[in-house]
Structure 1
Amino acid sequence: MNRAKAPQPLILIGIPTCMRPRMLAICLQSIGESALPENVEVRMVVADNDFNESAREVVEEFACNAPFPVDYTVCAERGLSNIRNHLFDYAIKIGADYIASTDDDEGPVSATWLSDLYTVIRETGGDAVGPVHGEYKAVKNPPLPSRNIIISARIYRNLKIRYDPLFNLTGGEDTDFGKRAIAAGAQFIADPRCQANAWIANPDTAPAEARGHHQGGWFTLRRHYNRVRVLTYANRTKKQKPATHILVEAVFYFIKGVVLLPFAIFSIEQRLRCGKSFLKSVAYPMSLFGPGRYEPYRDMDGY
């Protein structure tokens, strides 16, 4: 008796974009040229967060010769959380077992981008896997950045975890999402095989127009302050962190900044670490007065 073959796992490549058609084209081309995992079905959707559909022409041109089916959809309501939740809804609609994602401004993906992500999530049994990331290097079950990640359906279909609209224009939505998913029982795994995208791994390879998007100490520190403040505000309003705990942490990071201060003269990395500690010592108590008004994603940069 011939037994019916089990259906192949379906991976949805979900790309959020907003008014960056040239950067998107570079990203899509690299994905189209990268190796695909074996014995899986692959589909792609590009979700445009611009109601003027500035990405449509780029996507339709790419779709003509893409090695997998490509769809285009519009999420007119602006926001980082809105567009990522839109991709989750699309993944559920088509019955995707995994959604692999990278952002339009991260530059070309590696030649084995999707294969590496899928290999790691299959081998480890994690619910989400991505690259080893900065301050979470030593964390066993770390929240992962939203770029360059693969997420299993257990998170978005079974646990029904979604990105919080509070972070639509501030950033920090990926950290908040990861922490809530982990609290619900999901396993997040950072693995060095999940390579960072080219412009993140080496900003010098990015075109001059894109470099300011990934570099700059002041921008990095300001964004860090904002994310700490809004994340701490969210934790407090969700009763995950009392005010007394927040104030104690502020004192801790101030002392840490003082300890790191003598080492700040040796390298940019040490200066950033020191600066981030002092910023946390300010952002934590300021979160008691609200999430702040710094909204770097209200006006899009890139090209």
Structure 2
Amino acid sequence: MTKTQTQTGNTEPETTPSTPSTTPREGGTADTVIDEVRTVMARDGISQNQVAKESGVKQTTFNLFINGKYGADPKNIAAKLEKWLASHRAKSDATRAMPPARPWTSTPTSERILAALGYAQMAGDITIVYGAAGLGKTVTAREYARRFPNVWTVTASAARTCSVSMTLEEVLLALGVRELPSGAARMAREAVRKMEGSNGLLIIDEAQNLCVSALDEIRSLHDATGVGVAFLGNEVVYARMTGGSRAAYLDRLFSRIGKRVKLLRPDADDIAAVAAAHGVRDAASLRLLAEIGARPGGLRSVVKTVRLALMMAQDGPLDAGHIRAAHRDLEGC
């Protein structure tokens, strides 16, 4: 058995790959790392698959290592897991220091969005909610889906919904179909079969990422099933339906839109509601948050600023100084 030099300058025995090893490393033996990882997994409810994925260790290798059956030199695997442990500790510490994100807060703007979604589902109609980013369209859609049955959400993207077939795949996945039929026509028929008579609502989030033909296909599904459809997105999706260069057949979609909700920016009541949900009520802080909310990012920027400011306050009273410092930190100033 030869000697090998560690980063700390200590010499340690080098093992052969044929037998399990507990080679000492910077943090101790492989057995120590195994014990630490098992403790964290049990305490925080983390699966082996998640640890393997987050640490960059192959699943099969991790399973052998964590069960003490890894026959090769464990030094590299143990080092990766030590890095994962350090990262997990840092993340846990930060999570404890920072107040948890609220999944949804009722604001005047979010209530307008809820009303539009409710109208679309109740009336079996098409609604479009469009405008600036960071005003709570996505989180409000999630809240609506949490409250009501037969609500299916597709998040459009340039990679996943750039054609009719790809869009139909995403619709079927949202409907719970896992064995997808081949071909756009078969997928459309399956989507109709699943939605017909359901009194459901199909939400297309980030709808500006749908191509023109995919927009028309969603219109076709609505016509065939009578389900409500809600398009959520920025100004682009509305311009695509109304602009002079749009495909002629989008007239059929535009004429079917029953309700339009345009969102420009959060108002003072929106910001006050978000601030109050986080315990912020003093006038100076609200004035600063109103300035932040008027910039690109809207309520999303307000929430991020308040959460960081609360962490900076460290359980003490939060004031405008914390708000200002948090915003500057987030802006990189």
TM interval, shorter chain, is: under 0.3
Q: TM-score by structure 2 length?
A: 0.23
Select the structure that is richer in helix.
Answer: 2
Query: In terms of Rg, which structure is larger?
Result: 2
Q: TM-score by structure 1 length?
A: 0.25
